[in-house]
């Protein structure tokens, strides 16, 4: 017993001493990631220079990152920061960079090319930006040449907007008992299909607002087993266009992880709709859409805001069909740039490789959101 107590005492004292040492004399890496200092490695290789640059971005050291660039004379620090985070409020406005990957493409003694992927932690998950970066040797050090994309700015102007808007007045306490409330929008599931994937069962479908008023919609699905007992219930979450204007059709996708199709005897679908005050603007054009074949199968294109107001966040949902017009897959991407009027912004929606071969056509819809309310 006495030996055990002595050992415990030694361990406690050692722990306290180590904590004190770590607090008073922290390691360089720990100090860097706690924001107290920045980590400076020697930039004697392209990889080290790029790693230093990425570390500065990750700690929001945009000024130091800008100062380290070889081509900083070509643009201002503000333009550099706007290139990374956007000049107008958007999905990246309240985010931080969570990761930085690099992949060498080409290198000589004096120049190198890398493909870098910047990972941003956003409210809707990981947003990835890819850039092809050129590095040059300057004496004994390497410097990054950042391929800046200057974000267009809107000149001060007044844009008249003649948009449609719906407001809702519900029944109140003064109404007669028998008087009816405003009717919920009539929506209908026009297509539904279960698909077995490696990660589980996926329910795909399309929902139509067949009414003349806008609807806030969502879809839940309940799987029933062979004894007609509920197996699982899941919702579409954000894999749907929630605001559905009259006669608009949205795809939806519901995931059931760890469920296989042979466990399921029936599926009960529960479309939900409610009236919502809404605006018919902004109108978003999707142009130059192309299905890019495997490998890296994707649907790419550009979204263009045809209205006068800025759409801060855009969510692009792609619906994919086979030659017979059957639903094959639903995929999405959040555009992490604000949509300025008449300014195309590219999107690229990943398509699973095994499904890409079956896809013959597609339909794309875009939901937009404004900071301070739904657009």
Partner 1 sequence: MRPALPSLLAVMAAAPFLAGQSITVPPTVEAGSGFTIQTSGSGPATLIVVGQGQALKKDINLGEPISIAPGTLYNAGNYLAILAGTSAEPVSFDVSPAEPAKMSFLARPSRLPVDVKDGITGAVYVFDAYKNLITAPMQVSFDLTTPGAPQQTRTVNGEDGRAWVAMNSSPKEGAAHFVARVGDVSSTRVIGQVPGDPCSLKISAKPAGDKIEIQTDPVRDCSGNPVPDGTIVTFTENSQAGESTVDVPLKRGIAKVDMPAYPGANISVASGVVLGNQIHWGR
The CB-of-283 to partner 1 minimum distance in angstroms stands at 6
Determine how many CB atoms are found less than 10 A away from the CB of residue 9.
10
Q: If binding is defined by CB under 8 A, does position 192 make contact with partner 1?
A: no
Q: Which of 62, 75, 100, 166 binds partner 1 (CB under 8 A)?
A: 166
Question: Considering beta carbons, is residue 122 or 279 the nearer one to partner 1?
Answer: 279
Residues with Cβ within 8 Å of residue 100, at least 6 apart in sequence? 51, 54, 55, 57, 58, 116, 117, 118, 119
The CB-of-47 to partner 1 minimum distance in angstroms stands at 37
Question: Considering beta carbons, is residue 84 or 316 the nearer one to partner 1?
Answer: 316
Q: Restricting to residues 214-253, name those near partner 1 by CB under 8 A.
A: 214, 245-249
Quote the CA–CA distance of 342 and 335 in Å, as a whole number: 16
The CB-of-317 to partner 1 minimum distance in angstroms stands at 12
Q: If binding is defined by CB under 8 A, does position 306 make contact with partner 1?
A: yes
Q: Which residues pair with 266 in a beta bridge?
A: 224
Query: Among 10-18, 59-67, 113-121, 210-218, which window interacts with partner 1 (CB under 8 A)?
Result: 210-218
Q: If binding is defined by CB under 8 A, does position 83 make contact with partner 1?
A: no
Q: Which of 69, 213, 215, 297 binds partner 1 (CB under 8 A)?
A: 213
Question: What burial class does residue 275 get, using C-beta atoms within 10 Å of its C-beta: 0-12 exposed, 13-18 middle, 19+ buried?
Answer: buried
Give the residue from 303, 363, 278 showing the smallest Cα distance to 329: 363
- DSSP 3-state assignment of 9? helix
Question: Considering beta carbons, is residue 62 or 166 the nearer one to partner 1?
Answer: 166
Give the residue from 215, 202, 223 showing the smallest Cα distance to 272: 215
Q: Is 279 left (phi over 0), alpha (psi -120 to 50) or beta?
A: beta
The CB-of-230 to partner 1 minimum distance in angstroms stands at 30
C-alpha 354 chain-centroid distance: 23
Q: Which of 287, 324, 372, 373 binds partner 1 (CB under 8 A)?
A: 287
Q: In the 8-state DSSP scheme, what is residue 359? A: -
Question: Considering beta carbons, is residue 250 or 312 the nearer one to partner 1?
Answer: 250
Q: If binding is defined by CB under 8 A, does position 324 make contact with partner 1?
A: no
Total residues at the site for partner 1 (CB under 8 A)? 40
Quote the CA–CA distance of 348 and 290 in Å, as a whole number: 10
Question: Considering beta carbons, is residue 46 or 282 the nearer one to partner 1?
Answer: 282
The CB-of-240 to partner 1 minimum distance in angstroms stands at 15
Q: If binding is defined by CB under 8 A, does position 289 make contact with partner 1?
A: yes
Query: Among 27-35, 151-159, 175-183, 225-233, which window interacts with partner 1 (CB under 8 A)?
Result: 175-183
Q: Which residues pair with 165 in a beta bridge?
A: 279
Dig out the tokens for 333 from the structure: 């991407």
- DSSP 3-state assignment of 333? strand
């Amino acid at each position: 017993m006495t030996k055990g107590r002595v050992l415990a005492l030694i361990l406690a004292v050692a722990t306290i001493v180590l904590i004190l040492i770590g607090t008073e004399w922290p390691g360089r890496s720990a100090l860097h990631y706690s924001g107290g200092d920045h980590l400076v490695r020697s930039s004697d290789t392209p990889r080290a220079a790029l790693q230093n640059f990425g570390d500065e971005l990750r700690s929001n050291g945009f000024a130091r990152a800008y100062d380290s660039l070889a081509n900083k004379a070509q643009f201002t620090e503000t333009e550099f920061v706007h290139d990374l985070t956007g000049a107008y409020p958007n999905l990246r406005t309240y985010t931080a960079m969570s990761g930085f990957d690099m992949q060498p493409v080409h290198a000589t003694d004096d120049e190198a090319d890398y493909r870098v992927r910047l990972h941003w932690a956003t409210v809707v998950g990981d947003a990835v930006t890819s850039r092809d970066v050129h590095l040059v040797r300057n004496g004994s050090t390497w410097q990054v040449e950042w391929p800046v994309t200057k974000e267009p700015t809107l000149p001060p102007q007044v844009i008249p907007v003649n948009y449609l808007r719906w407001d809702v007045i519900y029944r109140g306490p003064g109404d007669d008992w028998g008087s009816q409330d405003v009717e919920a929008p009539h929506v209908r599931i026009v297509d539904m299909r279960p698909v077995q994937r490696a990660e589980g069962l996926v329910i795909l479908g399309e929902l139509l607002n067949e009414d003349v008023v806008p609807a806030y919609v969502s879809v839940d699905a309940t799987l029933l087993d062979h004894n007609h007992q509920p197996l699982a219930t899941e919702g579409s979450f954000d894999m749907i266009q929630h605001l559905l204007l009259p006669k608009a059709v949205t795809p939806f996708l519901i995931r059931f992880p760890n469920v296989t199709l042979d466990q399921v005897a029936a599926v009960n679908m529960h479309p939900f709709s409610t009236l919502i005050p809404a605006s018919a603007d902004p109108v978003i054009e999707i142009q130059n859409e192309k299905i890019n074949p495997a490998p890296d199968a994707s649907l790419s294109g550009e979204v263009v805001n045809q209205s006068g107001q800025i759409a801060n966040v855009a969510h692009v949902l792609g619906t994919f069909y086979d030659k017979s017009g059957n639903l094959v897959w639903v995929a999405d991407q959040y555009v992490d740039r604000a949509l300025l009027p008449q300014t195309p912004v590219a999107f690229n929606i990943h398509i699973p490789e095994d499904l890409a071969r079956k896809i013959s056509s597609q339909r794309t819809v875009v939901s937009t959101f404004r900071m301070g309310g739904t657009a």
